[in-house]
Chain A
């Protein structure tokens, strides 16, 4: 099943580590908060797991893609 990154918004403090690890799927908005721009596929799943792991506020999760 396709995976998707979801942000736990109240936890996210906009540190931007997820963007550094996976810029092709996570951009930053004008205030420095993550903008998830694409789903996760076989090529990016390793880095996506890494991004989830390094988030200092544990605000990123990988979930099954909706719809």
Chain B
């Protein structure tokens, strides 16, 4: 059943951008159903049917039955955002965040390229129940093909006139890790620099132009569209009691091309990944995610709550197996260097603390004792910034300390079980590149 070996239906190959290369999108049971029929509105309507007629009470009723959590990484319940935006004073604005901050995440790009109208359906339904007149699409700066696909889908809908008086607005996010953060996105919409600013309250109350703003990740809107189309019971047909429905995963680094797959919640990771991958360390949840030790995912399901219990992050569904010949400590140092470089350099603790954190990780890789320094930096980084970039970087580093205790001890003795000793000590400047490899 492993996705890399057997599949009944052929995959669809897409290219989010010229420099990224081809991405394999596997047909899925729900969101990625029928992707071989192309991204047109006609194809979409043939699969999903017409837009259901829903009011606020109806949507809240569905969401009471099925708790949809945001798919941008943090997993915030969509219901809470919707209720807050509906209850706040002023006309609401709906924002679709299709600018994935995690550079390794490709799931939103995959849906935008294969089923853009599913995203737009979810946004239109949400706008209608809120009485919103405008939907803002925030598009990824690094993926021109994704921008084209969503822009063309909007044009198709405008010609078709399906969305009534809803106005579509598009914005292009900067190519930067923190550009996709909620407050950074609202800054971009307001014509300011696309960087995080301090949030003094939920954007659902006061966001864009100080009005209620429902901002969610692109996949989240596809889940809303699926729920509206299927109803609570239909939606619950896949997934588990606690976490109904499916989720999208990006798998990159298992020796195959990067791929996006859709799996029901509760699916065993051993059914998703090959044995060869399960035997190796796997970075789950992306660069702000956590390391799973070798075999650490073997008896674990794809589940936000179960993984959280085990100290693992599902995040935005990014799965990065460690490549053969690479060392997890060295890999963590490279990713930390990359993340330090992605700081907006405006918040003091992030600007100073992330390079210090990189130094500490590098020290651990070199066999020195960095654990005390990492603990100390933890207190100086946690919740001390306009966004969670320092917190996410810290999570990655702390998970390295937890997952690779034995390996860290080996390094302290001058050994590495992943890389031959002769090649393990590359020069320091060379490590600052290649984190996104």
Which A residues lie at the B interface, using CB under 8 A?
A: 6-14, 29-33, 35, 61, 63
Contacts and interface: CB of A to CB of B under 8 A. Distances in A.
A10 B200 contact: no
Contacts of A32: 348
A31 B200 contact: no
B380 A29 contact: yes
B352 interface: yes
Contacts of A9: 198, 346-350, 384-386
Contacts of A11: 198
B374 to A, nearest CB: 14
Given A9-B386, A29-B380, A30-B380, A14 B348 contact: yes
Interface in B176-222: 195-198, 200
Chain B facing A: main interface SS: loop
A9 B384 CA distance: 7
Contacts, number: 43
Return the 9 tightest CB-CB contacts between A and B, nearest first. A9-B347, A10-B346, A33-B348, A31-B352, A8-B198, A9-B386, A9-B385, A10-B386, A29-B380
Q: Which of A6, A7, A9, A33 is packed against the most chain B CB atoms within 10 Å?
A: A9
Contacts of A29: 349, 380
Contacts of A12: 347-348
Contacts of B350: 9
A63 to B, nearest CB: 7
Contacts of A30: 352, 380
A30 B344 CA distance: 20
B198 A10 contact: yes
Nearest to A33: B348
B380 A10 contact: no
A10 B197 contact: yes
14 contacts: A6-B198, A9-B198, A9-B350, A10-B196, A10-B198, A10-B344, A29-B349, A29-B380, A30-B352, A30-B380, A31-B353, A33-B348, A33-B349, A61-B200
Contacts of A6: 198
A34 B193 CA distance: 25
Nearest to B351: A31
Contacts of A8: 198, 386
A33 B366 CA distance: 30
A10 B347 contact: yes
A14 B386 CA distance: 15
Nearest to B197: A10
Contacts of B200: 61, 63
Contacts of B346: 9-10
A39 B225 CA distance: 44
B246 to A, nearest CB: 34
A55 B196 CA distance: 21
Given A10-B347, A11-B198, A35-B384, 8 more contacts: A6-B198, A9-B346, A9-B347, A9-B348, A30-B352, A31-B348, A31-B352, A33-B384
Nearest to A59: B198
Interface string B111-148: 00000000000000000000000000000000000000
Interface string B365-387: 00000000000000010001110
B40 to A, nearest CB: 43
A28 to B, nearest CB: 10
Contacts of B347: 9-10, 12
